[in-house]
A and B are shown apart, each in its own frame.
Chain A
Amino acid sequence: MKDSFLLVSKCILSTIYFKEDMEVIKMTEKNLEKIIDADIHPWINGDIEGLKPYLSKAMWAHFDGRMRLPDHPLRPPLEKSTSIRLDTIPPGGGAGGSDPVYMAEDLLDRYNIEHAILSSVQAGKLVSYPNPIEATALASAFNDYFLNEWLTVDSRYKLAMCVAVHDPLKAAEEIRRVGKEKGVVAVFMPLFNILMGNSYYYPIYEAAQELGLPILIHPTGTEGGFSTSVAMAGGVPRSYIERHTDFPQVAYGNLVSMVFEGVFVRFPKLKVLVAEFGYSWVPSVMWRMDQNWRNFRREVPWLEKEPSQYLLEHVRFTSQPAEEPEKSKYLTQIFEMMHADKTLIFSTDYPHWDNDFPDNTFRHLDEDLRRKIFYDNAAELFNLK
């Protein structure tokens, strides 16, 4: 059996980079493994203030000094109560993740990442806003900001454009406006407290399918904290450790809803990336859906095959935070059960506190499975081949 550690080590070379004038600018070790990072988080300093150039005069006047997007009151018990690593603050200041040039050095160059998908958790906070006019304008501003100030800086950045689900028809318009731009590879859909199988979201799915863009869902940090945002099962968590542990239940319920409501029958080319919701629960949800389908198929007669087959065909999961079972062999077993060779996609979650990196993640895998998780599955999903 191949030892993946040795394989990876063999791929590491010392490399010297030169500018055109041959000035040595950097000497580092470069990992030649091909990597796509499916989930990184840019930040705009000042929240709405930072979006000013991308808001109409009328909307700027409307916000009238109301500049901050709200935080969930349960903060991570880390220095300054922030989920953004303080050691990622760029040399010029601002929050970690706010400087595309520095992030390229600190993440993309360091780990030889070929493509990295930007999904803005900051934009995800829009689901805490009850007003659809505000949320729709801000979503467009976020998209234009990232198109102009990130994708132009480094072509390795790709964008999961954001939509405001407050007005699904406007969200579909936004997908058709932005989705054709070069470098846009997904639609980040921050969720309301409406399950994803609900026809409420269909205009968004229709537009995403039309443009060949997968829907990306991700915790928005608002879960359980605001009246419009996703409620946690059973009640309201009372600490960060609780709400962070409970994230998978959000994805679990939404996938069950999508499969049984027939979203993938209605939208046969639609794909979904479930980012940062964990994945050790995926075998469980597949088994439970199939078991109940055998019992109660008559409630969902539009399903043409086992529910798990829809999940395996249409849904992908990001790897971060890498699960840490009691024995590492359990992870291998879970990978087999969830068909990780098709469904799992590597992500770092940079610059958040719980980020994973290629050199400390899934070192036990054989070369073939590692390549699929770190590159092939993402290349197929985001059409980056």
Chain B
Amino acid sequence: MAYCIGEIGEVPKGKALIKEVNGISVGVFYEDGKAYAVRNLCPHKQAPICKGSLCGTMLPSQPEEFVFGLEGKVLKCPWHGWEFDIQSGDALFGISQRKVKTYPVEIKDGMIYVDL
């Protein structure tokens, strides 16, 4: 069932609009014209992960080399720094099999609808 949780203009740049829906804390990020909805719960230590940032990370590289990428595609937990693919919820680069719960989200007439 889709719930309207607010206007797209309420989502801060690089941060989440966090709302409670049916007792579940959900965060919505909006980056480059695309919205992402994520359960506000890190599977590692139950941190409020949506208080973290949507950012990029270092891609696999050779020793002593940094290659930055996936900008705006990485959800980084504010506690231990675990990084997840904002789209799929998968932990990045095999650091864990645990996932962040993601939800389908739609923008209609500037309003955000999350399907829980």
Residues in A lying within 8 Å of B, measured CB to CB: 199, 261-263, 265-266, 293-299, 301-302, 304-306
- If over half of A's interface residues share one DSSP class (helix, strand or loop), that class is named, otherwise mixed; here it is helix
B80 touches A305 (CB 8 A): no
> A residues within 8 A CB of B21?
none
Interface assignment of B94: CB less than 8 Å from any CB of chain A = yes
Q: How far is the CB of B5 from chain A (nearest CB, A)?
A: 30
Closest to B92 in A: A297
Q: Report Cα–Cα, A265/B65, bound state, in Å.
A: 12
Q: In the bound complex, do residue A294 and residue B80 qualify as a contact, i.e. CB atoms below 8 Å apart? A: yes
The distance in angstroms between the C-alpha atoms of A175 and B55, with both chains bound, is 47
Count, A-B residue pairs, CB within 8 A: 45
B46 within 8 A of A: no
- Return A87 CB to nearest CB of chain B, in Å: 49
Q: Which residues of A contact B65 (CB under 8 A)?
A: 302
In the assembled complex, the Cα of A263 lies from the Cα of B96 at a distance in Å of 23
A266 in contact with B63 (CB, 8 Å)? yes
Q: Can you list 6 A-B pairs, Cβ within 8 angstroms, ordered by A?
A: A297-B58, A297-B83, A297-B95, A299-B58, A301-B58, A302-B60
Determine whether B1 belongs to the interface, using a CB cutoff of 8 Å to chain A: no
- State whether B82 touches A302 (Cβ < 8 A): no
Decide: A296 and B60 in contact? CB cutoff 8 A: no
Complex CA gap A302/B58 in Å reads: 9
Taking CB atoms, residues of chain B closer than 8 Å to A299 are 58
Report B69-114 residues with CB < 8 Å from chain A CB: 80-83, 92-96
Whether A265 pairs with B82 at a CB distance below 8 angstroms is: no
How far is it, in angstroms, between the C-alpha of A161 and the C-alpha of B80 when the chains are bound?
Answer: 44
Q: Assess the B60–A294 pair: CB atoms within 8 A.
A: no
Complex CA gap A302/B64 in Å reads: 8
- Minimum CB distance partner of B62 in chain A: A302
User: How many Å from the CB of A88 to the closest CB on chain B?
Assistant: 44
Question: In the complex, A174 Cα to B61 Cα: how many Å?
Answer: 32
List, in ascending order, chain A residues with CB within 8 A of B82's CB: 294-295
Q: Is the CB of B61 within 8 A of A296?
A: no
- CB atoms of A262 and B64 under 8 A apart: yes
- Looking at B63, B64, B80, B95, the one whose CB has the most chain A CB atoms below 10 A away is B63
Could you tell me the distance between the alpha carbons of A304 and B62 in the complex, rounded to whole angstroms? Answer: 10
Instruction: Return chain A residues, CB-CB under 8 Å to B64.
Output: 199, 262, 302
Q: Is B66 an interface residue (CB 8 A)?
A: yes
